[in-house]
Structures are given as C-alpha cells and as structure tokens.
Structure 1
Amino acid sequence: MTARSALRRYMLVSFLTWLPVGLMAATMVLLMTERGLGLAQIGLCTTVFSIVTVGLELPTGGLADVLGRRVVLALSAAFTVVALAMMSVSTTFWMFVASGVLKGVARALSSGPAASWYVDTLHQIEGLDADLKPGLARGGTMESVALCAGVLVGGGLPLLVPPGLMFPLAAPPLLGSLAAAVLLVVVVFAMPEPDHARRSLAGVLREVPATVVSGVRLATGRAVLRRLMLAAASSGMVLMTIELLTPGRLAELVGSPEEGSLVYAVVAALGFAGSAAGSALAPSAARWAGGSARGAIAGTALTALSVGALAATAGLGGAAGLVSAGLAYVMLFVGLSVTGLLCLELTHRAVTAAERTTVASTSSLFLQSGGVVANLTLGSLAARAGVAPAWTVAATVMVASALLFVRMPGAVDRARGSSPVQAPQARSLSD
C-alpha cells in the first residue's frame, strides 16, 4: 500500500462513518414525534445515547489498541447498521431507547480508530517523521462533507418516498443503515491492519478509573480549566436544546413533518456553513476584541442573542417565522464556533503536552453532560410551556456563561513545576 492509497481509504472511511449520522439527523426528532413520543420522552432517548457514549468513550478508546483498529471500526459499523435499522421500524418509547443505546455504543467505538489506522499506516510506509497534518485535515473535511450531504439527502428523502411503500420519515435512517453496511464492507476488505504496539485488555480497563479521576481532578483543580469546562457544559445545553426543539418548530411552520424535514435539512446545512465561517472568523474576533477571552465573550454574546431571537420569534408563522428561525440558527452556529475555537486555544495554553488528551476527553464529558441536563429539564419545560420558555432559559444560561471569560486567569495558572506552553496559532477546525 502507498501513502496515497492509505489517504484515499482514510478519507472514504471518514466520509462513510459520518454519512449515516447526517442521513438520520434531519428526521430523527420528527420520526419520534410521529410515532407518538412527546418531547420529554424524545429528550430521554437522546439522554440515553449521550450517557452510553460518555460512559464508553474512555474504555473503547483503548479497545482499538487491544483488538486492532479494523476490528473496532467494523464493530462500530455493525452496531450502526442494527441501530438505524431498528430506529426506522421503532414504534414505541423503549424501542427508540434501545436504538439510542446501540447508537451510543457505535459512536463510542468510532471515536479514534480511523485516525489511528491512518497514522499507523503512514508511519509504516514513510517512517515516524511522516507529515500527518495534511491527511488528518482531509479526513476531517470529509467528515463535514458527509454530514452536510447526509442531512440534505436525509431531509429531502421523505418527500420522494412513493405513497404506501413505507413510512416516509423512516426512509432516512434505513438509508443510513445501508450506508453503514457499505462502511462495514470497506473496513473489512480495504483496511489491512497496520503494525502497532498492542496493550492488554486488563491493562486498558485498569486505566479507565484512573483516567476519569485524573481528568476531573485536573479540570477542576485549576481556575482557568474550571471556567472552560463550565463553558463547555453551557454550550452543550444550548446545542442539545436547539437540536431537540428546532425540527418540530420548523415542521410546525411548514405544516407537515415531511416538508419540515427538508426545511430542517437546509437550515442544518447552512448551520454547518455558519460553523465553518465562525472558525474562520475566530482569529479576527480575538484581535478585534483584544484577546481570546474577550473574543470568546463576543461569540457567547452572539450565541445568546441568536437563541433569544429564536425565543422571541417563536410566535411568528409563515415565511417570517421560517426566515427568522433560519437566520437565528445560522448566527447561533457562527457564535458557537467562534467561542469553541477560542476555548480550544485557551485550553491548550493552560495545559502541558502530556495533559492535552485527558483534558480534551474531560471537556467532551462536560459538553455531553450539559446536553444531558438540557434533555432532562428544558425538554420537559418545552413540552409543558412551549419552545419559547425553553429557548429563553437556554439564552439566559449562555449569557451567564459569558461571565466565565471575564478576568480569565492566564496560562500561568498551571500545575506547579510545569513548563510554559506557547499558545498555538488559531486555525480553522472542522466539526
């Protein structure tokens, strides 16, 4: 295998890994709604997915070192096939919960092995000095392309399903299951296992509790990291509230779930574009505001204003409601991306090289935890009082999180004895 061949396979696997996610994203909430679930039950299903993903993230991270990259990727694809097929035929709350569990297992298994396979393979071909950045960047680009293409196809597909053939909103997750089956075949037959250092399963499992404790202790032991973890939790609350409530709001505006899925697909694709624009604007925002912390305040303020606009326009109907909701959605992702990238830079400035992976995993845990809190609270609030109060609370949380960046402790707030880490240049990051 050549380096170019390895890159092509890595890009293909990156695309196929996220294509099923994009295909089912546009109709997931609407499908549950049409099958009789309320917002609180939908929130619980999503919470189960988040809890399973978070709980297995660290154990499955080491599993690829034990079983091999290809085996873990194949397991992830197989779980995705079953999860999305089950989702397409689910008719009860507990069936959707089971689907969420399977999706959570698949997501946790897919976190990391593909990139590790590419790095191991390239090292085997070109040596340890091989330049990894171009290939990894292309893999990340393919993930974003897959999400954007998937959400557009999945959103429009229900309108193309012939009457009487099947339930229209079930078509996207079924197509996602087929895409995952293609991924399974590609992984099994086109990804030869590279040489890499093996670890024992017992050793990996023994490290999990220590890693979790170390990450939480590290993140809560320094003022700057405590603030950044709380900011991640706030962003998680806002993200989950938007993903939970926006599809139903748009379906209500256009009059049918099938048309709502298409509108949401277009809005979500524009949201991906807004996220990319926010990443590109983040360095300028930091320069304009006079520093990364102040730039993060600006991004947080834009996010809060966007969520507030969703709440304020929740009573509008027709074209005015669609346009206002779409614009607010896009600007929200611009703001979140600005804040997220600058928080990433602040995090890297506050830790040593040996601590980066642990802190990154801990930040992901806080982000997911914020989503769990939103599912359990704001989803129920929206079911009882409507989407406007839930979005108002989310906007308030985001406004309050801006205070976390005021007088942000500098990178000198570090563990005693650690050496300073130079701040990296801000760069555009894909989702």
Structure 2
Amino acid sequence: MLLYPVYALLFADTGLSVWQISSLFVLWSATGVLLEVPSGAWADAFSRRALLWLGPLLGAAGFALWVLVPSYWAFAAGFVLWGVRGALGSGALEALVYEELERLGAAHRYARVMGRAHAVGQAAAMAAMGLAGPLFAAHGYPAVGAASVLACLLCAATATRFPEHRAPADGTDGTEGPGWAATLRAGLGEAHRDRSVRGALLLVPAVSAVWGALDEYTPLLVRDTGVADATVPYLLMLLWAGVTAGSLLAGPAERLGRTGFAVLLTVSALALAAGAVTGTPAGIALVALAFGGFQLATVLADVRLQHRIEDGARATLTSVASLGTEAVTIGVYAGYAALAGLGGHAAAFALCAVPYLVTAVVTASARRR
C-alpha cells in the first residue's frame, strides 16, 4: 500500500490537527472493537476464505475516498471501511492457516510459516515505501492512492486462491452445524474455562497494541527529525526492515521461555525510548530495532494462543485477542495525542516504552510463581 508512508502527511496537509488525526485512529479501532468477535464467529461458522477476499475490496473503496475527496469525513469513512476489512481478516487468517497446516500434520510449523508470511508482507511494504517516494514526488497523493487501490484488488484476488477444506458450521454444506451464535458461545466458554487460554488471550494485546498504535505516527516522528517529506518513506523502510527481521526470527525464537520473552520486551522498550529521544535520523535505527523485537513478540504471542485453542472456535478466540488489542489501541491513541501535545512526538514515543517494561516484569514474575 503506497499510501502507508504518507497518509498521516495527507491528513496533516489537509489541515487536520494531531487530535483530529488521533480521533480518526480511534474510529478505526472502534470499528474493529465492534466487529472483531462477531467476524471471528462468522469465520468459524461460515467461510474464512470469503471474509479474506471481501475485506480488501472494502479497503480499496476507503483509500479511493481519501484521495478523491480529501476531508475529515472522507478520511473517517475510509477508516470505517478499513476497520471492517481488518476485522474480517483478523482471526480468519490465523485460523485458516493453522487448521490447513494441522490437516497436513504440520501444525508445529505454524510459527515458521506465519513468521515468513509476515516477512514477505513486510518486504512488500518496504518495496511500496521505496516506490512511494519518487511516485509521490512526481505525482502527489492521487498516484499513491491509485496504486494502493490496485494493491487491495490484487490482495482480494490472491485470497480467493487460498485452500479451505473445513466444512461450514452453519449447515450450508448439507449437514447440520451449530451456527454462528453457538460458535460464539463455544469460543467464549472455552476462554472462561481454560486459564491458559485466558493468559494467552491477555498476552496478545499486551505486546501488540502499543507499538501497533505507534506505527501510525512514525511518519510524523520521522518528519520531526528534519528530513524532507520525500525522504520519509525511505526512513520508514528502515523501520519495516526491523519488523521483517523480527518476523523471520519467529521460528527459531519459538523456544524462548518466559524469561527470554521478558528480556526481549525489555531490550525493545529501551531501544524505542533511546531512539525516539535522539530526534535525529540515526535514532530511527534504534526504533527499527525496537519494532523488530515487538513484532517478534507479537508473532510468538499469537503462536502460544493458537497452540492452546481447540479447533472449533479458533477464529472466534483469535478475534477476542484482537478485540483486546483494538481496545487497548484506542487508549494509546488518546494518550498519544495528549503526550504529543505536551512534549512532541519524540517524548510520546519514549513514554510509550513504559507499558512494555511493565509487561516484562509481569511476565518474569509469573515464571517465578
């Protein structure tokens, strides 16, 4: 999506304040909060593949709105569509991949497969950032918007080719199934009964929400280092190189215990704070290191969750974890607007390292208990 490295700049250039930009991010997450769990139950009850190709079409419509009629309300409508897209894919993708691997007797490869899949996607994102710079310099926002719409259409076409061998739970295959409501109840009941599932559900938002929210503000952090707008995508490529490296390490790092996981979070948090406060392009390298660590922790948290879920409600419970992530993310957006208003983007990024230090301490303490 070529719009990624410049859409925060589009909002600012349209005249939006930091508070207005944050309100758009909150709307984006709120849409996910409303639809995460229902969409996971839909994926368990109906077709996961269908949700994966429908979502990108909605995203394409939203991005087209942004560049055709740039205004606060067009941005808001686009984020609602993007939020629906994210909710439809969240849970459905993880469940589809895990169960197709399990059908082949290869569920133990889930961490490696998903890590590589994330890495390929992040490499594509870096390529898009590299293309966004010259395309934006030559033709502005309409050109990067058109390219982003095309990317969404290609994503939808790709999703139609995913294999799906599970029978729908709603009886559309000619057999009786529990249906959407029963699937939702079964998934929530599993979380209520199984303490290990609850712990894995809580770990996902604890490691993924804050840095996922900060990612939306990275163009503004980079711009504050004094570089030209056309240079912003190239420094964002450095960030995504770190994220890609984190994804590729998911397979070997799956053996990390609680202590190793806590150390990973601590080192990443310190790198985030140190890189942000430098206020220079060189500091972005430390932020890239931090994002790589957080991405690795995010994949590992998802792996632990998938290994603990029973098959019937896998997408539902994965969506419950995503719901927690979206709820925390909304709080981060609101807090970020306040922190940035007081001390600027660098201070806001540095202070957002604190929750990871707390999570690291809780994780290490849980191991001792």
Give the Cα separation in 2 of the matches to 1:99 and 1:356: 30
Contact 1:155 1:263 in 2 (8 A): no
Q: Closer, same or farther in 2 for the Cα pair 1:119/1:275, shift >3 Å?
A: closer
Partner of 1:3: none
CA contact (8 A) 1:282 1:295 kept: no
Quote the Cα distance in structure 1 between the aligned partners of 2:77 and 2:134.
27
State the match for 1:335 in structure 2: 293
Q: What is the identity, as a one-letter code, of the residue corresponding to 1:323?
A: A
Corresponding residue for residue 426 of structure 1 = none
| Cross-structure match for 1:14 | none
In the aligned structure 2, how far is the partner of 1:259 from the partner of 1:402?
35
Q: CA deviation at 1:85?
A: 1.2
Contact 1:228–1:347 under 8 Å retained in 2:
yes
Deviation at 1:242, TM superposition (A): 2.6
SS of corresponding position for 1:81: helix
Shift of 1:402: 1.8
Q: 2:219 aligns with which of 244, 247, 260?
A: 247
What are the within-5 Å matches in structure 2 for residues 168-187 of structure 1? 168-185=140-157
In the alignment, is the contact (CA less than 8 A) between 2:184 and 2:313 conserved in 1? no
Matched with 1:279 is 250
Identity, in percent, stands at 19
Superposed CA offset, 1:165-211 (max 9, x none) = x5x244333212112223445666x6798683451699644247635
Q: Of 104, 109, 131, which residue of structure 2 is paired with 1:156?
A: 131
Give me the whole-angstrom Cα distance separating, in 2, the residues matched to 1:364 and 1:157.
29
Tell me the equivalent position of 2:42.
63
Residue of structure 2 aligned with 1:146, choices 99, 107, 121: 121
Select the structure with the greater relative contact order (CA < 8 A; seq sep ≥ 6): 2
Paired residue for 1:324, among 270, 275, 283? 283
For the pair 1:199 / 2:170, whether they are aligned, the reply is yes
In the alignment, the residues of structure 2 paired with residue 43 and residue 240 of structure 1 have an alpha-carbon distance, to the nearest angstrom, of 14
**2:358 corresponding residue in structure 1:** 400
Letter in 2 for 1:303: S
Partner SS, residue 235 of structure 1: helix
Q: Please list every run of 5 or more consecutive structure 1 residues that lacks an aligned counterpart in the other structure.
A: 1-19, 287-291, 315-320, 414-431
- Partner of residue 301, structure 1: 266
Q: How many residues of Structure 1 are paired with residues of Structure 2 in the alignment?
A: 363
Per-residue CA deviations over 1:349-373 (Å, capped at 9, x if unaligned) read 8x56469836544333222222111
| Structure 2: distance between partners of 1:82 and 1:276 | 29
Query: Take 1:40 and 1:273, find their aligned partners in 2: how far apart are those partners?
Result: 30
Deviation at 1:305, TM superposition (A): 0.4
Distance 1:181 1:132 in 2: 30
Distance 1:200 1:389 in 2: 54
Query: Following the alignment from structure 1 to structure 2, what is the Cα–Cα distance between the partners of residues 352 and 195?
Result: 16
Which 5+ residue runs of structure 2 have no aligned equivalent? none
The alpha-carbon distance between structure 1 residues 275 and 146, as it changes in their structure 2 partners (threshold 3 A), is same
- Match of residue 331 from structure 2: 373
Match runs of 1:25-424 below 5 Å: 25-64=4-43, 68=47, 71-111=50-90, 130-131=104-105, 141-161=116-136, 163=138, 166=139, 168-185=140-157, 196-199=167-170, 204-207=179-182, 210=185, 213-214=188-189, 217=192, 222=195, 231-264=203-236, 266-276=237-247, 278-279=249-250, 282=253, 286=256, 292-314=257-279, 321-326=280-285, 328-340=286-298, 343=301, 351=308, 353=310, 357=314, 360-408=318-366
TM-score for the superposition, normalised by structure 2: 0.79
Equivalent pair of 2:40/2:319 in contact (CA under 8 Å): no
Give the 5 Å matches for 1:9-28.
Answer: 20=1, 23-28=2-7
Deviation readout 1:209-245 (Å, 9 max, x if unpaired): 63575366458xx4x7666555543434431343133
Contact 1:302 1:331 in 2 (8 A): no
What secondary structure does 1:322 align onto? coil
Shift of 1:306: 1.2
CA distance in 2: counterparts of 1:184 and 1:258, whole angstroms: 29
Deviation sequence 1:386-418 (CA, Å, 0-9, x none): 1233223212222222221233158xx9xxxxx
Q: Greater shift after overlay, 136-145 or 367-376?
A: 136-145
Cα distance in 1 between the residues matched to 2:218 and 2:137: 26
Change (3 A) 1:209 1:112: closer
**CA distance in structure 1 between the aligned counterparts of 2:96 and 2:205, rounded to whole angstroms:** 31
Indicate conservation of the 8 Å contact 2:247/2:296, yes or no: no
1:158 deviation in Å? 4.0
CA distance in 1 between partners of 2:263 and 2:144 (Å): 37
Provide the rounded CA distance (Å) in 2 between the counterparts of 1:354 and 1:187: 22
SS at 2:365 equivalent: coil
Distance 1:255 1:89, change over 3 A: farther
- TM-score, structure 1 length as denominator? 0.69
Q: CA deviation at 1:299?
A: 0.9
8 Å CA contact retained: 2:206, 2:325: yes
**Change in 2 beyond 3 A, CA 1:367/1:72:** closer
Q: Distance in 1 between matches of 2:190 and 2:31?
A: 19
* Offset of residue 68 of structure 1: 4.2
The amino acid of 2:170's aligned partner reads R
Provide the C-alpha distance between the structure 2 equivalents of 1:103 and 1:72, rounded to a whole number of angstroms: 13
The answer to whether the 8 A contact 1:267-1:329 is kept is no
Q: Which of the two has higher C-alpha Rg? A: 1
Q: What residue identity is the alignment partner of 1:257?
A: D
